[in-house]
Amino acid sequence: MKSILFKTTIFALLANLIFVAQFAMAQTSTSSVVLKNAKTIYLTFDADMTVYMKNKLLSGKVKEWYDPEIISYLEEKKIPATIFVTGLFAEIYSQEIKQWTDNNLLIENHTYDHSAFESPCFGLKVLKLNKDKLAEIKKTQDILFKITGKNPKLFRYPGLCHNSSDDFLVRNMGLSINNGSLTANDAFNKNYASIVKTVLARAKDQSVILMHLGGPNAPSTSQALKQIIPQLEKMGFTFKSLDN
């Protein structure tokens, strides 16, 4: 009788062990599928300012060169983002940038006055000498460090105009170049639906979306963003900051 009870107990223990092992394998398999299907996307904005733009702002001809609604929406939805800022923009909006940093938005270098490094470049003023290019970068590094207490680690070219020699200069300053991989085409675009369509059609794992921070030069970005973010989340994307 004892022998039968002992065997029954052993069989029960073995059955339990097999069940636990099968359950663990199923959980591991499920986790692997979730991990395999996980998609990451990075949201970035350019905060441009030229001398001409600064003068229009100071004269009152332009109210703002960015859309505060974009920032409010990102903070409300707790969406991490990276903002590439020109030094001129940072000087004008230093308090705002400090607040954005405190709210975990990443601030990076976009030159001082949005001058191009190569020509032609969308009508931008062009820097021809390496010393002038380096001065633009360093000046903005210093401005942003003074505001945020952090040294920017990323750099984006105005108009995305550059060559391999420019890349060498930038990297020699210890900066990584990030020109985005998915341009939303929101600059000077009043058709928010076309912006949404562009991003959703081209989004893929590890895409770096390039948008602008609103204002007169990107009038539909805010409206487009409020559709892009929830749609991308429905598509399985997770937003991360470029410092990840």
- Contact between 116 and 159 under an 8 Å Cβ cutoff? The reply is yes
Residue 70 predicted with pLDDT over 80: yes
pLDDT at position 77 over 80: yes
Cβ contact 46:156 at 8 Å: yes
Rounded to an integer, what distance in angstroms lies between the CA atom of residue 196 and that of residue 27?
37
Residue 120 phi/psi, 5-degree rounding, is -75, 155
- 149 φ/ψ angles, rounded to the nearest 5 degrees: 80, 10
Q: Which of 4-13, 22-31, 92-101 has the highest mean pLDDT?
A: 92-101
- pLDDT tens readout for residues 36-59: 468 999 999 999 999 999 999 999
* Domain boundaries defined on the chain: 36-240
26-35: per-residue pLDDT in tens?
Answer: 444 433 334 4
- The phi, psi pair for 106, rounded to 5°, reads -85, 130
The two tokens of residue 82 are 């990276």
What CATH number labels 36-240? 3.20.20.370
